[in-house]
Chain A
Amino acid sequence: MSNQDQHRIPVFDALSQHFKENAHQALGNQQLRHNMRSAMDSLMTKRLASMSDEYEREHLRELGNHIRARALSKLPDLLEKLEANLTKQGVQVHWAETTDQANQIILEIAQRRQAKHFIKGKSMVSEELNMNHYLQHHGIEALESDMGEYIIQLDHERPSHIIVPAIHKSAKQVGHLFENKLHTQYTDDVDTLIQTGRKILRQKFFEADIGISGVNFAVAETGSLFLVENEGNGRMSTTVPPVHIAITGIEKVVENLRDTVALVSLLTRSALGQAITTYVNLISSPRKADELDGPEEVHLVLLDNGRTQAFADAQLRQTLNCIRCGACMNHCPVYTRIGGQAYGTVYPGPIGKIISPHLMGLDKTEDLPIASTLCGACGEVCPVKIPIPELLRRLREEDVRPPEETPHTVKGQGARFSRKERLMWKVWKTLNTKPALYRNFSLLATRFRALTPNIMAWSQNHSKAKPAKHTLHELARKHLGEQ
Chain B
Amino acid sequence: MTARENILKKLRTSLEGTTPRPDDFNVELVTKPWSYGDTQGKIKQLRTMMESVRTEIHQTTKASWVALFADLLKQKQVNNLLYAPTTEWGKQIDNYWQQNTDLPTLKLYDRLVDEWKNELFFEIESSITSTLGGIAATGSLIVWPNREEPRLMSLVPPIHFAILEASKIVDNFYDAQQKLNWVENTPTNALLISGPSKTADIEQVLAYGAHGPKELIVLILVDV
Contact = CB atoms under 8 A, between A and B. Distances in A.
Contacts of A151: 201-202
Majority SS at the chain B contact face: loop
Contacts of A282: 186, 189-191
A240 B211 CA distance: 12
B116 to A, nearest CB: 10
B182 interface: yes
Contacts of B19: 73
Interface residues of A, number: 99
B155 interface: yes
Given A56-B29, A69-B21, A257 B211 contact: no
Given A278-B197, A291-B147, A236 B211 contact: yes
B68 interface: no
Contacts, number: 257
A63 B25 contact: yes
A184 to B, nearest CB: 14
B95 interface: no
Interface string B86-126: 00000000000000000000000111111001100100000
B150 interface: yes
Given A276-B192, A280-B192, A148 B138 contact: no
A250 B7 contact: yes
A167 interface: yes
Contacts of A165: 201
Given A69-B21, A262-B29, A284-B189, A257 B201 contact: no
Contact of B26 (A63, A101, A169): A63
B3 interface: yes
B204 interface: yes
Interface in B25-61: 25-27, 29-30, 33, 49, 53
A230 B210 contact: yes
A42 to B, nearest CB: 5
Interface string B187-198: 111111111111
Contacts of B194: 275-280
Contact of B209 (A195, A292, A311): A195
A223 B189 CA distance: 12
Interface in A345-404: none
Nearest to B52: A275
B77 interface: no
Nearest to A265: B30
A405 interface: no
A179 B53 CA distance: 30
A191 B203 CA distance: 12
Interface in A265-311: 265, 272, 275-288, 290-294, 302, 304, 308, 311
A145 B212 CA distance: 12
A293 B177 contact: no
Contacts of B27: 258
Contacts of B22: 70
B189 A294 contact: yes
Given A261-B173, A282-B190, A284-B188, A95 B30 contact: no
Chain B, interface size category, equals 35 or more
A191 B137 CA distance: 29
Contacts of A145: 211
A164 B201 contact: yes
B140 A276 contact: yes
Given A73-B15, A194-B202, A278 B29 contact: no
A221 B185 CA distance: 12
A198 B177 contact: no
Given A231-B198, A278-B196, A282-B190, A39 B11 contact: no
Contact of A193 (B151, B196, B197, B202): B202
B155 A190 contact: no
Among B21, B23, B210: residue with most chain A CB under 10 A: B210
A156 interface: no
B140 A280 contact: yes
A351 to B, nearest CB: 20
A257 B182 contact: yes
B183 A201 contact: no
B179 interface: no
B204 A278 contact: no
Contacts of B26: 59, 63
A308 B177 contact: no
A76 B33 contact: no
Contact of A239 (B30, B53, B137, B189): B189
A142 interface: no
A42 B140 contact: no
B205 interface: yes
Interface string A214-237: 000000011110000011110110
B11 A75 contact: yes
B191 A294 contact: no
Given A70-B21, A284-B188, A147 B201 contact: yes
Contacts of B113: 240, 292-293
Interface in A145-176: 145-148, 151, 164-167, 169-171, 174
A201 B182 contact: no
B75 interface: no
A59 B24 CA distance: 12
Among A39, A272, A292: residue with most chain B CB under 10 A: A292
A166 B10 contact: no
Contact of B33 (A53, A250, A255): A53
Given A53-B33, A257-B182, A169 B202 contact: yes
A67 B139 CA distance: 25
Contacts of B150: 291-294
Among B109, B193, B204: residue with most chain A CB under 10 A: B204
Contacts of A9: none
Interface of B: 2-4, 6-8, 10-15, 18-27, 29-30, 33, 49, 53, 109-114, 117-118, 121, 137-140, 145-147, 150-152, 155, 172-174, 177, 182-183, 186-205, 207, 209-213
Given A97-B3, A278-B194, 6 more contacts: A39-B203, A70-B21, A76-B11, A222-B186, A284-B188, A291-B188
5 contacts: A194-B209, A198-B209, A282-B191, A292-B111, A308-B14
Smallest CB-CB A-B distances: 9 pairs? A232-B212, A148-B201, A231-B210, A293-B113, A232-B211, A280-B192, A232-B197, A276-B138, A95-B4
